[in-house]
Structure 1
Amino acid sequence: MAEAVVSIVVGRLTDLLTEESQLLSGVRDEIQQVVSELVRIKTFLRNADSRTDEKEIRIVLAEVREVAYDAEHVVETFLVKALSTRKRIKWIKTIRFSRKIKDIQGRMSLLFSRFRDCNIKPTLESFEVSSSSSGATEKLKRFYSYATPEPKIFVGFHGDVDLLVGHLVNESDDCYKLVSIFGMGGLGKTTLAEKVYNHSTIMTCFAGLARVTISRKWQRKQVLQRILICLVHEKKAEILNWDEDKLVQKLLKIQQSKKCLIVLDDIWSTDAWDSLKAAFPAENSRSRLMLTSRNVDVAEHADPYGFIHRPAILSPEQSWELLKLKALPKGGDCLDITRDVKKMEELGRKMVGNCGGLPLAIVILGGILVTKPTLYEWEKVYNDSLLSIKSGEGFSKDYQKELFYVLLWSYNDLPPQLKPCFLYLGKFGEDEWRRTESIYQLWIAEGMVLSSDRREGETMMQVAESYMGELVHKCLVQVKYYEVGKFESCSLHDIMRDLSLSQAKANDFFEVVDLREGNDFDPNPSGDLTGYGRQLAVHYNASHASDQAMSYFVKKTNQQRYRSMILLTKSRAGTLSPVLSAHVFSFKLLRVFSLEAVDFDGDTPVFKLGKAIESLVYLRYLSLRNTNLLIFPSVQNLVLLQTLKLDTLGNLVFPPWISENVLAKLGHLRHLYLPAGKVHKLKKDFKLRFDGLSKLETLENFNTDWCEVMDLPKLINLQKLTVTVMNYDVEEMMKYLASIPYPCLRYLALSIISEKLALPDGPDILRKLLCDQTYILQELSLVGPLPEMAQVFGQQPHNSLADVSLVRITFLKLCSSLKEDPMPVLEKIPMLRELHLVGAYEGKEMVCSAMGFPKLTILIVYSLPNIEKWRVENGSMPSLSELHLVTCPKLEELPEGVRFLSSLKILVLYSMPSDLCDRVRVVNGEQGPDFYKVAHIPDIRIETE
């Protein structure tokens, strides 16, 4: 890990010398000398990192990390002063800088003596890297192409699935109300439960399905909320406001009224069960409950008469089959057809024998081997695994030791760049999914993404995405996909998070402190040897984060220590501790500060904290997302800022004394998220300016009402833009959009609230907006009077189908009152994945024809007051997975064609006619006359109000 830290600092300083060459010209030689010495130090670290079981080595490595961090801080301090003054840096400041650099160099010289004393020798590989022209870390070899999600591999548990499904659907008198799966971590309990949950028989048999993860740190109210949201998703807003008693009452009622299957995954303790059991009927219910746990006592305590199943570990043959599927995929760049497959199988069978039959361990091992195409590399992994097992004796206990060894050597096998990125994910909560976009920005702000890994034309965000792809490919990180080739969110398996936390603690990488209910505060949370952890993650609820606990973090020693502070809460937590609010300005060295989902009470904390942030001049990342905290104009002092998230709660007020050029000094800004709420301008004609933000790549919530449109063409590196056009000439807006450099802009989302489109030239404007590829439009929302879709595409001298085929939008929302059925036109948009019709049609009949909407996955039809009949032909919407019908009071029945929608997983009927709903219900075992249309849909949610 010390090697990774030094690599990061070398990369940062090298980038600064390139990007800020003019400002650093007077001290360039001194900085370059420091970089050279750090590169030389790095040649010793691969050997030292392999000997961390020695106390003396750990102390030396801690000193290396400190020297590297301090060297970077000295350079950054000089740079901030240079950027913050209009005058030239005085010579006295340069002298002070030189003195500090000499002190750093003196400490480096002592380190080489320590290396000698500890018999730490430079490695050949590191020496070759240090001799290269750049002196940076070896360029990351990318093995993973994430164009499509990898198929999930399932070996050895097919019989278990059939057994459990059989017990859950059994309706006899001796059936089991509760089915439990228990076993050690990494055995595949969650995977098995997921297979059962998604089984076709289960989907047909149960009217309501819910699956939630409990984990070690659970909160009763949140668990109950998540279950209910799964069962009645359309009432999510109401559910989040119910107290615990009402949550229990409603959950019991739903389980009595319809047959439900509820899965409680990863429940650790009997206390957790005792807290939840009141929400599940003890008798006289056809609903079923399934839980997974590592503790058989939990299963026996929950229901001593229930069915308790312990999956067997994989046999040697099954273990090899699983490893082969993961490590030897068919095709791919990593394969070498000349290799000795027979010998590799022999080695593979030996290595998999050390995995103890645990699927997680085997898959992790496969993630290592899949990037090793030669027999020589397999032999090296085999020898390393033997060394890992030998050196690990005594560190693990009982049956989990095999898993520990495999995870540890999978971590040690990572390139230096990826180690801190993997460890970083351990900051976040167990079983918590975080958006990858934010993770990438945090990695970059922390300096963990190296510009030396950037390929021609790539941004740092794309390099970070490639890092995530490597971690996913090695099975260290779980991801959800937004679309083909794009990760939406990521999470760590709880065992992988344990590994992350243990390695972060051993390397003083970060601290995680839990101030939530039921957790005692440890005044020495790191418990480490040196106490040099510079990154802090605090999990808290405002009502339980005591001032005594918060006082620990505002001590002077900690103020000087932390470079990163992330405050994490799962829900809006009210006022933050006044102790922390009053002392944020003291943490002057922070590079990252994140405070999200906090609704401050009163003006004083808002003012004090907002004012304090202007002193955090080293910040690269600042997030105040989902707060009511406004920091204009404090932000103008943060000259190194790369990511700024101000999508805050409530209304935004710009007082007269705020300058339109408040963002002008933020020349390093790459990602800007503006407030999304309503804006009040107290100065007439106020327009926020974006001149000078030439490095900006992401700009969200740009609003033409208070943002200067003429500045858009100046954003020459802009890749993602979301715009709301209000009371503005749409044609002029399109002119500026077309001036943004192409093909730099890759994602454009437009929300147009205007009456302009209803005028005679409206069809031409819409046609150009939708069909002209200059605009790279992916998402479009139209609010206000609209021309008929046939006018836009039908009244043309050439074939209208050709026009529609040019449209590349994936999301469309129409809020208007069209007189003609829009479906015949909209269904021909080839890439459309999500369609919202909100009061958009006044007619009585609507038709979706065969072959229409080929890619549509979500359709929401809301408030069509006159619609009486809707025809869906066989072959229409073949990919539809969600259908929401809301407030269509005259619709007589569901279309016959719904039964042909084989991909449909969720059907929501909200505030629909009671006759229509009754026709698809099952009441007391009796199916309504139209139930056959929806029998194949696993999740049907009906709420009539």
Structure 2
Amino acid sequence: MADILLTAVINKFVEIGGNLLFQGGGDLYWFKDDIDWLQREMRHIRAYIDDAKDKATGGDLRVKNLLKDIQELAGDAEDLLDEFLPKFQQSNKCKGAICREFAMQIEKIKKRVDDIDHVRKTYNIIDTSNNNNDCIPLDRRRLFLYAGETEVIGLDDDFNMLQDKLLDQDLPYGVVSIVGMPGLGKTTLAKKLYRHVRDQFECSGLVYVSQQPREREILLDIAKQVGVTEEERKDNLEDNLKSLLKKKRYVILLDDIWDVEIWDYLKLYLPECDSKIGSRIILTSRNSNIGRYVGGGTSLHVLQPLDSKNSFELFTDKIFHFDNNDWANASPNLVNIGRDIVGRCGGIPLAIVVTAGMLRARERTEHAWKRVLERMGHKIHDGCAKVLALSYNDLPIASRPCFLYFGLYPEDHEIRAFDLKNMWIAEKLIVVNSGNRREAEDLAEDVLYDLISRNLIQVAKRTYNGRISSCRIHDLLHSL
């Protein structure tokens, strides 16, 4: 909620700063410096609020109080603007008592901003909006990519379709792109596909790209796997890799691509895949636009949540992972509770696996499982939260409040796109400096399409000409 309020207030400051209210030599011009200063400070706060929320999640009560102070500050600043701006606009002057009261309130807010910044420094809360720290922590996804074969449940049809597409001699650009929201099993499916077909190629490699890719390390990893000798890697890595791949039919899996820049770098050294040799690229991404950029629209394979039958099958496999009892010794009530728990997971394999892992650590009784079911809205998604939060943190800062706005709607609610975009504009989550309504509507539409391309929002209905009529947010993302 603090994110939404901060963005709304910042956008109001932008709107005011460009308003004719402050142009020329009028009395109100002298408040422009205050408004600009407050705008900068609010942007500064928004830049470090993610780190504050992470620390608050860890249970630090002091940081939770700081977040509450920030939310109250943003709300009070917005109220101040709403109260005084109409008065100023009526006369285009700052008169007597109104002027003095406004100045006093501005000074109070400036004092609160200074206090918040002091507390922030005390608790070592930092700006994480563009952190270029070279020290990258160990990523479990990287380990998972190279782990042994993982059983794929409920994705047989997807696997068969992808295999047929990958081995099709006429595949445009030689690329298949597995895309979808986090937790659907893109990497699991891609690994199975890669390991199933790699023997049909002369050389192969799989690499984890990640949100913070190190270009040369990725290139070096590919070179090692496809057969570039150590001497050739040291001598001239790029040229020797490209030379080898021009002569051999290869398949390479690029897992978890977040932006097109890393592909623009890698493709300089990966020969065209749609050549007569028949080399292939498999990629996974949360963003459909990445797959579309690399391999065109025909390369896309969009994963969907599992249906109830496959969801329960996956749950069963994970619950009874270490024994073969299956449900034979379980009471009908326990089975029904299990189905209710699976239903809460919304068909997301990651949520199902995390849930089953938690249940394995408990007694297999109705009482224990009922307690889990009752608490699912709070504890059950903790294991998914960090994975899903990556997609949120990758959003442009200005788009985050638009995504958070979906939390105001009930779960599984179908939202009219027209109404949603108008609400974003009305709440000042979408603002253009020109004040032009048409430009604001176009920007709102761009934001909505971007959220859908990132698979954070699902299309519910389309119009006859393909535009988005209504949309919804998945229950798992809603609960986070």
TM-score by length of 2: 0.48
Higher strand share goes to which structure? 1
Higher relative contact order (CA 8 A, sep 6+): 2
TM-score by length of 1: 0.26
Radius of gyration: which is bigger? 1
Higher helix share goes to which structure? 2
